[in-house]
Amino acid sequence: MTSEKDDRDYLVSKDRYAEFGVDTEKALKILDTVALSIHCWQGDDVRGFEQNPSGLENSGLHVSGGFPGKPRTIDELRRDLQAAYALIPGHHRLNLHAIYADTNGRSIERNALEPSHFRSWVEWAKHENLKIDFNATCFGHPLAESGFTLSHPDKTVRKFWIEHVKCSRKIAASIGRELQSPCIHNLWIPDGCRDIPADRWKSRVLLKNALDDIFSVEHSLSQIKDALESKLFGIGSESFVVGSHEFYLGYALTAGKMICLDLGHFHPTESVADKISAILQYTNEMLIHVSRGIRWDSDHVVIFDDGVRSLAEEIVGGPGLDRVHLALDYFDGTMNRVGAWVLGARAVLKAVLSALLLPRDRMLEAENAGDNFLKLALREESKSLPFAAVWDRHCRKHGVPPGDRWIQDIAAYEKRVLAERA
């Protein structure tokens, strides 16, 4: 419920921003159009619901922590997702991995997955008014233990993974058709070497041929959009990653696919934000996985820091939010997992709002006039404007707790639901 004080605080904030030439109402309307793709795998430490799970060993992934209350079933995961969505302002999406198939207790190999194994997810999404994105799961499997999947030197192993990705794309297209919204299918593979390889060329030839085979099966762009996700290095691939940024960028541009940039998949001093305006000169859309790397690709929970703010500023001030798809990608088992979802999602939305509230027109005027002092001064002074009141307005508009009030809801859910599971 909005109080007179809330309205008064917002009006003061609105007037203060107007003095800088910023329309807060316009910014809030644009923010309403932002749909984050919320990743299901934060909810259960990337375990999934396969009947014979292999774990993440030798897969280039690692989740630390053992916070109590992890969901044990699909229904429990969905309940946790509902709790998270209820505290995130706006209308958002769900991002699924193939290992979250609902097989009714049957053991189904990944290269035999069908759209029917995700029917319950589609029905749940309809009930919750959500759209869905999808990912092939090329890790956590005996045939991935060597560290190679689509570029595996063994043709039989390579064929298995090609079939799995084809199945995943078929599932994604079915989801997109059913929910009447293109399902983004993102592909990341762990392929690479711990130490210096003797032959990089062969691995990349095999990967390129595998991708050509996968994408020879065409689906309507109204149902599926494909993205390729690179990485600098991973656990077990410290010396060589087959699907590097350069490899996937070249493939994506020539094959008409989206490139996916993960904030944690580059050198710590490299600016992912800077890449957006360069890549979108040559392609229509891109996917961003918003994560937080500390020293390496550590998949820490996203916070409202300089990295995510710079990302939002480049998107808002450049190609715009209609050409860049935003998805969360982190996993932390050391804390309340539902709270981690909400914390990260709200941080990204705050970053977008912060970018929308920059006095951009005045900054551009200063830059065009060669007044670099004024340009920098406007940016600096805008940091002191009453941002919180505008953010709280957005939260109240969507019926979610403003400020820090959502934290007590997380604590209550932990006591009421998560503690019972432990």
Q: What is the pLDDT of residue 275?
A: 97
Distance CA 397, CA 89 (A): 8
The residue-averaged pLDDT of 188-204 equals: 97
Q: What is the mean pLDDT of the chain?
A: 96
Q: What is the pLDDT of residue 55?
A: 66
Q: What is the pLDDT of residues 224-281, one digit of tens each?
A: 999 999 999 988 999 999 999 999 999 999 999 999 999 999 999 999 999 999 999 9
Q: What six digits make up the tokens of 254?
A: 């020539």
| Alpha-helical segments (H) within 184-301 | 200-214, 245-255, 272-279
Distance CA 244, CA 261 (A): 11
> Does residue 274 sit in helix, strand or coil?
helix
Q: Are 98 and 114 in contact (CB under 8 A)?
A: no
Sequence-separated (6 or more) residues with CB below 8 Å from residue 327 = 36, 37, 38, 39, 93, 95, 133, 184, 186, 287, 288, 289, 290
Place of tokens 């030197």: 153
Distance CA 33, CA 39 (A): 19
Q: What is the pLDDT of residue 105?
A: 92
User: Interhelix angle for 306-317 vs 337-356, to 10°?
Assistant: 50
Q: What is the pLDDT of residue 78?
A: 98
For strand 240-241 and strand 192-193, is the pairing parallel, antiparallel, or unpaired?
antiparallel
Q: Could you tell me which CATH number the domain at 34-356 has?
A: 3.20.20.150
Q: What is the pLDDT of residue 60?
A: 65
Is residue 110's pLDDT more than 90? yes
User: Interhelix angle for 24-31 vs 387-397, to 10°?
Assistant: 50
Instruction: Report if pTM > 0.85.
Output: yes
Q: Mark 117-149 as b/e (b = at least 16 C-beta within 10 Å).
A: bbeebbebbeeeebbbbbbbbbbbbebbeebbb
Q: Are 203 and 242 in contact (CB under 8 A)?
A: yes
The residue-averaged pLDDT of 350-354 equals: 98
Rounded to 5°, the CA angle 271-31-38 comes to: 70
Residue 93, by phi and psi: left (phi above 0), alpha (psi -120 to 50) or beta?
A: beta
Q: What is the pLDDT of residue 5?
A: 81
The residue-averaged pLDDT of 318-342 equals: 96
Catalytic residue set: 188, 229, 231, 262, 265, 289, 297, 299, 329
HSE-up of residue 45 (Cα within 13 Å, Cβ side): 20
Distance CA 315, CA 288 (A): 10
Q: What is the pLDDT of residues 139-170, one digit of tens each?
A: 999 999 999 999 999 999 999 999 999 999 99
| Residue 129 pLDDT class (50, 70, 90 cuts) | very high
Q: Are 299 and 291 in contact (CB under 8 A)?
A: yes
Is residue 53's pLDDT more than 90? no
The residue-averaged pLDDT of 203-227 equals: 98
Q: Where are the domains of the chain?
A: 34-356
Q: What is the pLDDT of residue 422?
A: 78
Q: What is the pLDDT of residue 267?
A: 93
Q: What is the pLDDT of residues 59-108, one digit of tens each?
A: 667 788 899 999 999 999 999 999 999 999 999 999 999 999 999 999 99
Largest CA distance in the chain: 70
- pLDDT-above-90 percentage for the chain: 93
Distance CA 116, CA 102 (A): 9
Q: Are 38 and 96 in contact (CB under 8 A)?
A: no
Q: What is the pLDDT of residue 1?
A: 53
Sequence-separated (6 or more) residues with CB below 8 Å from residue 225 = 182, 183, 184, 185, 258, 285
- Cα dihedral sign for 385, 391, 392, 394? positive
Q: What is the pLDDT of residues 5-20, one digit of tens each?
A: 878 999 999 999 999 9
The residue-averaged pLDDT of 183-193 equals: 97
